[in-house]
Chains A and B, each alone.
Chain A
Amino acid sequence: MTTAIAISDLTKIYANGFEALKGISLQVQQGDFFALLGPNGAGKSTTIGVLSTLVRKTGGTVEIFGKNVDSHVYETKLDLGVVPQEVNFSQFERVKDIVMTQAGYYGMPRKLAAERCEKYLRKLDLWDKRNDRSRTLSGGMKRRLMIARALVHEPKLLILDEPTAGVDIELRRSMWEFLTELNESGTTIILTTHYLEEAEQLCRNIAIIDKGRIVENTSMRALLAALDKQTYIVDLAKPVETLPDWGDVPVTASLLDSHSFEITVAASLTMSGLFKLFLERGIEVSALRSKSNRLEQLFLGRLTDARGDAVNV
């Protein structure tokens, strides 16, 4: 399989002396849907900045589809599309002009640019807005416009820096569907996000970066398999005053109020096993939900391990 991105010993020290990247090495395979996670200031955006050439690296090498970004500028940029975290198009331009201009920067002939522009504006539900000034778009539309703009030259690799930040849940779900479809059609995608549920839902592989270092780099499946406990919130059909004795079953539980309690069990315990446990103790369950995102627990756990102290994110 071709390597989409090969980062080796990447360092970045900003002019003010801040060491944003401390020698990270990372590989992303072609066709992957890869999550790059980390708390604020961890180095995610700097890494993306280096890939997109907006940030000059201090040391190390970066290759995109086997080509060095320093020596093959045109080819590597042609393969790359970037959706930044902040809106970065002119607020005075029309939607269509923004996409067409970007196509022009890539040297795309006007006829092809117009076809691609229509294709992606339609896909991202912006075709009706094509003649509107970009400043009149809603926050979600602006993010979709940045995706359309990044795709107009049909890059093999798309990097999205928190694409769904501030986007309502309905729109977020439709963007997930769009990105999944895009990935299935062969585009390699790297995603940074604060919504860990999003990474869990979409990505196959993951790297966690903290204080300029990679603290975890594995498949999503392997990472989730490492989770040994799961916490649920259980809503009761009938109110109770106290919780039953759990015997020698390794659980911890505490009553939240007379109608609900929280229970932590081994991750290996199946749902059937859990309900059997409740039935045997006469607990009638009206609803059950996971207390927190599984990946969130792992994420915080990895950061705690890496730092050797508690993490507040």
Chain B
Amino acid sequence: MFKNHKYIAFETIVIKEVRRFTRIWIQTLVPPAITISLYFVIFGNLVGSRIGNMGGFDYMEFIIPGLIMMAVIQNSYSNVVSSFFSHKFQRSVEEVLVSPVPNAILLGGFIVGGMVRGLLVGAIVTVMALMFVDLQIQHPIITITVILLTAVVFSLAGFINALFANSFDDISIIPTFVLTPLIYLGGVFYSSSLLPPFWQSVSALNPIFYMVNSFRYGFLGVSDVSVGPAFVILTLFGVVLFSVCLVLLNRGTGLRS
């Protein structure tokens, strides 16, 4: 038995995950940077100048926190779902399943891998944003906490998707048909105050709405929702999804026959 074996196993998974997405950086880091830059140019610069103010800020300033959040959500999720499903598909997941890595460590390693990619892409997008506006962060601690919690929650969601997936179609269905609509309707491009009361109530059911708004609060100091409930929702999602992942791993769902 090796000393610190759990920590070494955790570190191994994280290094392997980071090595994976940096090896294919042209597929993982460049596309989101280009896509988000186009959002800045088209929605922020060209269209935004005609929209005027939103929530008391230039439209460009208003959408930047949402676009950073969008990049973190999409990349945390897609890193874990594609990496873990690839492991399943190639059966290389058996390497870790036959080894004495506890399920919580296995999960933690993949989640941190997803977070690192999500946050790295978030940082790239932030740097791109600095080319267009002078960013000021009003509440740094809230900003950092929200982005970290969001990366955790969507890495966990990606892990569950990967456990149940049996084909590459299965790993694209949720991001395409669930995640993207939730992000776009989560207040990335508009303030919910523009919506009729009924659609404001519908928006309140979208967890991404709270994440985007609390992150925007961290940046700009304005939000459509109060930050307290947003933290509770994020934490609750994190705890529930982590527990679900562990139960599924302990049962061997999608992994052990």
Residues of A within 8 A of B (CB): 14-15, 49, 52-56, 73-75, 77-78, 80, 82, 84, 86-92, 97-98, 101-102, 104-110, 149
Report yes or no: B5 in contact with A107, Cβ–Cβ below 8 A.
yes
Q: What is the minimal beta-carbon distance from B83 to any residue of chain A, in angstroms?
A: 10
Q: What is the minimal beta-carbon distance from A216 to any residue of chain B, in angstroms?
A: 27
Known interface pairs A90-B92, A104-B8, A107-B6; A52-B252 also in contact (CB < 8 Å): no
Report yes or no: A92 in contact with B11, Cβ–Cβ below 8 A.
no
Report yes or no: A82 in contact with B2, Cβ–Cβ below 8 A.
no
B96 to A, closest residue via Cβ: A105
Contact residue among A74, A75, A82 (Cβ-Cβ distance under 8 Å from B98)? A82
Report yes or no: B95 in contact with A54, Cβ–Cβ below 8 A.
no
A81 to B, closest residue via Cβ: B98
The interface residues of chain B, by DSSP majority, are classed as helix
Report yes or no: B257 in contact with A73, Cβ–Cβ below 8 A.
no
Cα distance, A75 to B15, chains bound together (Å) = 25
Known interface pairs A74-B100, A77-B99, A108-B8; A56-B94 also in contact (CB < 8 Å): no
Q: What would be 13 A-B contacts, judged by CB atoms less than 8 Å apart? A: A15-B257, A49-B257, A53-B97, A54-B94, A54-B256, A54-B257, A55-B257, A56-B257, A74-B1, A88-B94, A90-B87, A104-B16, A105-B12
A-B pairs with lowest CB-CB distance, top 6: A107-B5, A104-B12, A105-B99, A88-B91, A77-B100, A107-B2
Task: Find the residue from A49, A90, A91, A108 having the highest chain B CB count within 10 A.
Answer: A90
Task: Find the residue from B2, B6, B90, B100 having the highest chain A CB count within 10 A.
Answer: B100
Q: Which residues of the other chain, A, contact B23 by a CB distance below 8 angstroms?
A: 92
B234 within 8 A of partner (CB): no
Cα distance, A109 to B87, chains bound together (Å) = 24
Q: Which residues of the other chain, A, contact B176 by a CB distance below 8 angstroms?
A: none
B19 within 8 A of partner (CB): yes
Q: Which residues of the other chain, B, contact A149 by a CB distance below 8 angstroms?
A: 95
Report yes or no: A106 in contact with B257, Cβ–Cβ below 8 A.
no
Residues of B within 8 A of A (CB): 1-9, 11-13, 15-16, 19-20, 23, 86-87, 90-92, 94-101, 252, 256-257
The interface residues of chain A, by DSSP majority, are classed as loop
A78 to B, closest residue via Cβ: B100
Q: Which residues of the other chain, A, contact B3 by a CB distance below 8 angstroms?
A: 109
Cα distance, A15 to B252, chains bound together (Å) = 13
Q: Which residues of the other chain, B, contact A56 by a CB distance below 8 angstroms?
A: 252, 256-257
Report yes or no: A109 in contact with B8, Cβ–Cβ below 8 A.
yes
Report yes or no: B12 in contact with A101, Cβ–Cβ below 8 A.
yes
Q: Which residues of the other chain, A, contact B20 by a CB distance below 8 angstroms?
A: 92
Cα distance, A110 to B11, chains bound together (Å) = 11
Q: Which residues of the other chain, A, contact B92 by a CB distance below 8 angstroms?
A: 88-90
Q: What is the minimal beta-carbon distance from A72 to any residue of chain B, in angstroms?
A: 10
Report yes or no: B94 in contact with A78, Cβ–Cβ below 8 A.
no
Report yes or no: A107 in contact with B4, Cβ–Cβ below 8 A.
yes
Additional A-B contact list (5), CB under 8 Å, known A80-B98, A105-B99, A108-B8: A52-B98, A53-B98, A105-B9, A106-B2, A109-B3
Report yes or no: A102 in contact with B95, Cβ–Cβ below 8 A.
yes
B6 to A, closest residue via Cβ: A107
Q: Which residues of the other chain, B, contact A53 by a CB distance below 8 angstroms?
A: 97-98, 256
A112 to B, closest residue via Cβ: B2
Q: Which residues of the other chain, B, contact A52 by a CB distance below 8 angstroms?
A: 98
Q: What is the minimal beta-carbon distance from A229 to any residue of chain B, in angstroms?
A: 42
B86 to A, closest residue via Cβ: A90
Report yes or no: B256 in contact with A88, Cβ–Cβ below 8 A.
no
Q: Which residues of the other chain, B, contact A86 by a CB distance below 8 angstroms?
A: 91
Cα distance, A265 to B221, chains bound together (Å) = 96
Q: What is the minimal beta-carbon distance from A173 to any residue of chain B, in angstroms?
A: 28
Q: Which residues of the other chain, B, contact A97 by a CB distance below 8 angstroms?
A: 16, 19
Report yes or no: A101 in contact with B11, Cβ–Cβ below 8 A.
no
Cα distance, A231 to B130, chains bound together (Å) = 85
Cα distance, A54 to B255, chains bound together (Å) = 8
Known interface pairs A74-B100, A75-B1, A107-B100; A101-B16 also in contact (CB < 8 Å): yes
Cα distance, A92 to B20, chains bound together (Å) = 9
Cα distance, A77 to B4, chains bound together (Å) = 17
Q: What is the minimal beta-carbon distance from A180 to any residue of chain B, in angstroms?
A: 24
Report yes or no: A55 in contact with B256, Cβ–Cβ below 8 A.
yes
Report yes or no: B9 in contact with A54, Cβ–Cβ below 8 A.
no
Q: Which residues of the other chain, B, contact A74 by a CB distance below 8 angstroms?
A: 1, 5, 100
Cα distance, A102 to B8, chains bound together (Å) = 11
